[in-house]
Structure 1
Amino acid sequence: MSDTIEVRSGEEVNLDVLHTFIDDHLTNIPKGELVIRQFGAGHSNLTYLLQMNDWEGVLRRPPMGPVAPKAHDMKREYTILKSLNQVFQAAPKPYFFSEDTGIVGAPFFIMERRKGIVLDSEFPSDVKYHAELGRKISQLMVDQLVALHEIDYRETDLVNLVKPEGFLERQVTGWITRYEKAKTSEINGIDEIKEYLVDHLPTSQQPTIIHYDYKLNNAMFSEDFSEMTGLFDWEMTTVGDPLADLGVAMSYWIQNNDPDFLKNGLGEPPVTVMDGFYTREEFIQSYAEKSGRDVSSINYYMAFAYFKLAAICQQIYYRYENGQTNDARFENFNVFVENLIHYAVEVSKKRDQA
């Protein structure tokens, strides 16, 4: 099961220009023919596999077309990885960043290629799945999130990039604004969820480094699933309320009894629907036990996470609707956005049960 595909139409890069650039900037790798493939997963930034003889690297750049202000900041992600690679083993090492848009059409960076197994909707054919393996992977996901939240951000370069004070309030108002700017239709429940998020802000916990896009198919595992060998997509990483990170992680953590739109909204159902994987409740309780944090307000963070995901998908759909991308995967994202808004409202009404 390959994790790469032929480069999608409309997302090609100039092979000769990039080859020359790499020869000039990565002088310690073997010279040879440059081969480029694309990582097919993901709906936002474009990620390419670069191969030259025995050397492999990974190139990341923003999506095609106009992007939202401050979104897809490649320099920021490069800087985050450069710092975290020193203190968090799952963070890949970045090699260099370039603002020269003449190379691949946008700012980009190149980082090391990590090897391992990435799980999405199925296991590799040579892996014999059993329920205990699902629990093992689930606990590893919990443990790595707890470990990330234990790092003292003040001892990393992130201290110069972030402003933890007022994080959650800025996030809520910011994502509401982003949603409104990308709105393509009126959706029932949108005013209700916006009002709830603004009026019920919980008291934030002590700020930590948060990945903020922590999900199974952003992680890579060793062949025996004993360790996480890579964690990717650090674009949204910042310092803030760790429960916001947990909420986002749980918005992507699908379980078997979820509504069909959640299970199928971003493609085939993920492997977390299989017997043995933690339910969201089990994941949250394990996180609480391992971290010692109070998770009683998690329903707020979950409601916000579903709204945030709706806003992200709405931005993607806005680009599709306005002809800024022709990726057919986005054609029905408007329906997914509507369902996410309705579900966020539903989750928000569970607040008294938290």
Structure 2
Amino acid sequence: MSVHGASAQEMFSGTKEVADSHKFNEENLFQWMTENVEGFEGPMDVRQFKGGQSNPTFKLITPKKAYVMRRKPPGKLLPSAHAVDREFRVIDALYPLGYPVARPYALCEDTDVVGTMFYVMDHVEGRILWDGTLPDYEPAERRAIYEAKVNTFADLHNVDWKKAGLEGFGKEGDYVARQIHRWTKQYTASETKTITEMNKLIEWLPENIPPGETTTIVHGDYRLDNMILHPTEPKVIAVLDWELSTLGDPLADFTYHLMNWVMPSSDGRGAIVDIPDLEAYGIPTMEEYIDMYCKRRGLSSLPEVSYYFAYNAFRLAAICQGIVGRVRDGTASNANATAMEARVPLLANFAYDQAKKAGMPA
């Protein structure tokens, strides 16, 4: 394993003692589990997962099985962030369809139980891989994992959201426009310094949205470390972290994921963009990956991706700035969150360059 791969895998994998800032009344939770989770039997041991910056996530271990609890963090929160109730709703809709998500049990909106809203789902045993370059794998294995990943993504965008019972989960149409508005608001609420490129993008992006938008379920943050792979097979057995999911433009969702092919790593993990010969290495080229997605969805091609790259980098800059704001307000749940501050101008510059490719005046 590479040093980078080892450090990322080690830094984010597994569990730790519950952080002091996220401690809660475990007896209350035990009582709630007894009343609301089918088949639950104690005793119960609580650990906190190391990975994940937004919603603190806990492993609940009992003699017979393990569960996962995701809760809103305590403290001052941005209005639309940490929507664990929305996460629960989409998992609850997808699970009966056979889409790979953990089995959901119940949502608790009563803040008296652990202090904030939370939900509980099955703990799925498998592999979470933190380095997208897959340093531990052979070329054929890498390709198989990437094929499973893109097919699972296309399958999500192929789900009939009305039949899945997700009417009202998001507004139909104008997704990109609404997202630009939302993330502009989050960015300005969390702003700690002026970034000229962000201000220019805030003006240009909403005026230049590509036509022909369709509506599907979108994940919002689909990437390798937000899924659990089968322990031995190249198969996605659970997609995680649905906090940003809604109804929206599948191409915005897919092109966000595609940015892995053009963006450098920001945290010491390997980056696809640094691999000189993807074909020999086993990871599909961006063009191949787009083709796999289009085939699975029955699309002839994707429109020009530069606009979408600009939009997605802008959105990611706003998300990172939101984390910086949470550090400032004392509510961030990951020790690495302060490193986000350096990412914001880099993402703003990347978005600005892509917007110029898409026709924005310099």
Q: Same fold (TM over 0.5)?
A: yes
Which whole-Å CA distance do the structure 2 matches of 1:28 and 1:80 have between them?
23
Which whole-Å CA distance do the structure 2 matches of 1:322 and 1:75 have between them?
23
Does 2:19 align with 1:13? no
Partner of residue 312 from structure 1, selected from 319, 322, 347: 319
1:285 equivalent in structure 2: 291
Which whole-Å CA distance do the structure 2 matches of 1:10 and 1:235 have between them?
21
For residue 289 of structure 1, report the CA deviation from its aligned partner: 3.3
2:4 equivalent in structure 1: none
For residue 49 of structure 1, report the CA deviation from its aligned partner: 0.7
Which whole-Å CA distance do the structure 1 matches of 2:274 and 2:285 have between them?
9
**Percent sequence identity over aligned pairs:** 29
2:350 equivalent in structure 1: 343
Which whole-Å CA distance do the structure 2 matches of 1:65 and 1:269 have between them?
34
Map 1:155-174 to 2 at 5 A. Answer: 155-174=163-182
CA contact (8 A) 1:135 1:277 kept: yes
Partner letter of residue 269 of structure 2?
A: E
2:147 equivalent in structure 1: 139
TM-score, scaled to structure 2: 0.87
For residue 273 of structure 1, report the CA deviation from its aligned partner: 6.1
Aligned residues: 342
CA contact (8 A) 2:33 2:40 kept: no
TM-score, scaled to structure 1: 0.89
Does 2:89 align with 1:79? yes
Partner letter of residue 119 of structure 1?
A: L
Which whole-Å CA distance do the structure 2 matches of 1:203 and 1:155 have between them?
26
Does 2:15 align with 1:4? yes
Alpha carbons of structure 1 residues 270 and 220: separation in structure 2 relative to 1, 3 Å: farther
Partner of residue 331 from structure 1, selected from 317, 335, 338: 338
Partner letter of residue 215 of structure 1?
A: R
Alpha carbons of structure 1 residues 132 and 273: separation in structure 2 relative to 1, 3 Å: farther
Alpha carbons of structure 1 residues 271 and 33: separation in structure 2 relative to 1, 3 Å: farther
Alpha carbons of structure 1 residues 63 and 278: separation in structure 2 relative to 1, 3 Å: farther
Cα deviations by residue, 1:244-290 (Å, 9 ceiling, x for unpaired):
11022123x256xx5xxx31x24533689663223434322322233
Partner letter of residue 22 of structure 1?
A: M
1:227 equivalent in structure 2: 235
For 1:69, what is the secondary structure of its paired residue? Answer: coil
For residue 340 of structure 1, report the CA deviation from its aligned partner: 0.8
Alpha carbons of structure 1 residues 195 and 160: separation in structure 2 relative to 1, 3 Å: closer
CA contact (8 A) 2:132 2:224 kept: no
CA contact (8 A) 2:159 2:216 kept: yes
Map 1:52-63 to 2 at 5 A. Answer: 52-63=62-73
CA contact (8 A) 2:14 2:49 kept: yes
Which whole-Å CA distance do the structure 2 matches of 1:100 and 1:165 have between them?
33
2:6 equivalent in structure 1: none
CA contact (8 A) 2:125 2:231 kept: no
Which shows bigger deviation, 174-183 or 290-299?
Answer: 290-299
Partner letter of residue 331 of structure 1?
A: T
Partner letter of residue 290 of structure 1?
A: R
2:34 equivalent in structure 1: 23
Q: Give the number of the structure with larger relative contact order, counting CA–CA contacts within 8 Å between residues 6 or more apart.
A: 2
CA contact (8 A) 1:115 1:229 kept: no
For residue 21 of structure 1, report the CA deviation from its aligned partner: 2.0
| Two-structure CA RMSD over aligned residues (Å) | 2.3
Which whole-Å CA distance do the structure 1 matches of 2:310 and 2:255 have between them?
8
Which shows bigger deviation, 187-196 or 330-339?
Answer: 187-196
For residue 27 of structure 1, report the CA deviation from its aligned partner: 5.2
Partner of residue 109 from structure 1, selected from 77, 97, 119: 119
